[in-house]
Amino acid sequence: MANRGRLPGTASPEQIVCHADIDCFYAACERLREPALRGEPVVIGMGYEPGTTNGAVATASYEAREFGVESAQAISEALTALPRKIDAAQDDELDVEEAGFYRPVDMEYYESVASEIKEILHERADTVREVSIDEAYLDLTDSTDWGADLRAFAEELKAEIREQVGVTASLGIAPTMSAAKVASDREKPDGLVIVEPGEVQSFFADLAVEAVHGVGPVTAAEMREMGIETAGDLAAADPAALDAAFGERGRRVYRFARGEDGRAVEPKGRPKSFSRESAFTEATADVDRQKQRLQTLAESVAERADQRGVLYQTIGIKVVTPPFDVQTRADSLPGPVADSELVGEVAEKLFGEFAGESIRKLGVRVSKLSFGEQQPSLSAWAEDCGTETQREQSQGETDSQPDGQRSLGDFR
């Protein structure tokens, strides 16, 4: 397994990092509660009301960006580039078509939307590093593989965010954090850029040197003086010269431009679940293949929880039938366990109702995790868990942590 045996904080060479960033986030939030703003130039900021002067643009919708409005701009400048609709409607000199909607910042609301998004991200990856209100790194190393499956995984994640929250995310996927960050920005809005291992350096080559994470406008200007225009130039530059001009930071951005970034995605907060999914090359109705795949997934998920010393109480499956119908089922055990065979058994039992249907993809998940607790001897009840498990649909499931390990007697 990719993560096994590596030093904390160091990435495995085959690491799959996804950087997710929501498109014009505050404006996207305002559009959720005010659908009339969809497709319109929208500016979120402070200080645009008559009588107020100081203020800045927090963000602008992509339609407003076409008028030259951008984050951190003085609001007065934004109002010149893009007057307010209500002003334009009353002023013969102004064209209503060339005007936009202005809304004040409402952090509380944006935080609530952000937490819905983060919940989906945590569902999709064991390790998530949240870096800002609308941005996070996901470690997908154990969730999927390089290849066709990865694109499908990413498309599904984007669709889930779009359908469940109502905003669009741009994703960048790469073997390093620094390349994933750049990749998510390349095709905004609603972008998806995958940079495969071995392609990082060529991906960077033609980009302006500012594209490299850590190169700001001032450094970029100095680099241009040295003849370094593109990230490719930076990758090919003399490291000693960079060191002399920029010190440690110079060496760091030099490494990034070469695709050398050994950082692992370090989580903030604990994972809520462990899951693994796998698609068939083509949908199959072969029960043996389906069950076999399910067992492999169950083993892999249980092994990962085991490696991290985590117990789980809920075991779930995901079944995707053509075209993209996703169904989930889950069972909760009376107490937390770490038992690979039990994961396989419960998964197969839940799978019973789908066995033999045409299936594109299968997934297994364990959740309701307990960290750093001892597992009691569970063999007694594990044997007849089939009758004791309590069925629940995953929609009704909560992610709350169990109160802690209780005695085995409590389970009975």
Residue 59 contact, options Mg ion, ligand TTP, none, Cβ 5-8 Å cut-off depending on partner type: ligand TTP
Q: In the 8-state DSSP scheme, what is residue 170? A: E
Whether residue 19 contacts residue 184, with contact meaning beta carbons closer than 8 Å, is answered with: yes
Candidate list 63, 123, 134, 277; residue touching Mg ion; CB under 5 A: 134
Q: Give the DSSP letter string of 370-385.
A: EES-PPPP-HHHHTTH
Rank residues 106 and 156 by Cβ distance to ligand TTP and give the closer one: 106
Q: Which two tokens stand for residue 9?
A: 């904080």
Residue 139 contact, options ligand TTP, Mg ion, none, Cβ 5-8 Å cut-off depending on partner type: none
Rank residues 26 and 381 by Cβ distance to ligand TTP and give the closer one: 26
Distance, in Å, from the CA atom of 188 to the CA atom of 33, rounded to the nearest integer, reads 23
Q: Which two tokens stand for residue 116?
A: 């819905």
Give residues with Cβ within 8 angstroms of 204, minimum separation 6. Answer: 179, 182, 211, 212, 231, 232, 235, 257, 259
> What is the nearest approach in angstroms of ligand TTP to the Cβ of residue 323?
29
Give residues with Cβ within 8 angstroms of 219, minimum separation 6. Answer: 246, 249, 253
Of residues 277 through 296, those in contact with Mg ion by CB under 5 A are: none
Distance, in Å, from the CA atom of 131 to the CA atom of 115, rounded to the nearest integer, reads 13
Rank residues 103 and 318 by Cβ distance to ligand TTP and give the closer one: 103
Span from 86-94, 132-140, 230-238, 371-379 in contact with Mg ion (CB under 5 A): 132-140
Residue 264 contact, options ligand TTP, Mg ion, none, Cβ 5-8 Å cut-off depending on partner type: none
Candidate list 11, 18, 20, 21; residue touching Mg ion; CB under 5 A: 21
> What is the nearest approach in angstroms of ligand TTP to the Cβ of residue 19?
11
Q: Which two tokens stand for residue 278?
A: 């796998």
Rank residues 174 and 346 by Cβ distance to Mg ion and give the closer one: 174
Q: 369 — phi, psi (to 5°)?
A: -85, 150
Residues that bind ligand TTP (CB under 6 A): 21-26, 58-59, 71-72, 133-135, 188-189
Chain CA centroid to CA 375, Å: 32
> What is the nearest approach in angstroms of Mg ion to the Cβ of residue 171?
12
Give the active site residue among 30, 63, 135, 345.
135
Q: Is 135 a catalytic residue?
A: yes
Distance, in Å, from the CA atom of 76 to the CA atom of 57, rounded to the nearest integer, reads 9
Distance, in Å, from the CA atom of 322 to the CA atom of 318, rounded to the nearest integer, reads 13
> What is the nearest approach in angstroms of ligand TTP to the Cβ of residue 47?
13
> What is the nearest approach in angstroms of Mg ion to the Cβ of residue 328?
29
What's the half-sphere exposure (Cβ side, CA atoms, 13 Å) at 168?
A: 13
Residue 26 contact, options ligand TTP, Mg ion, none, Cβ 5-8 Å cut-off depending on partner type: ligand TTP
Candidate list 15, 25, 88, 176; residue touching Mg ion; CB under 5 A: 25
Chain positions contacting Mg ion, by CB under 5 A? 21-22, 25, 134
**Residues belonging to the active site:** 135
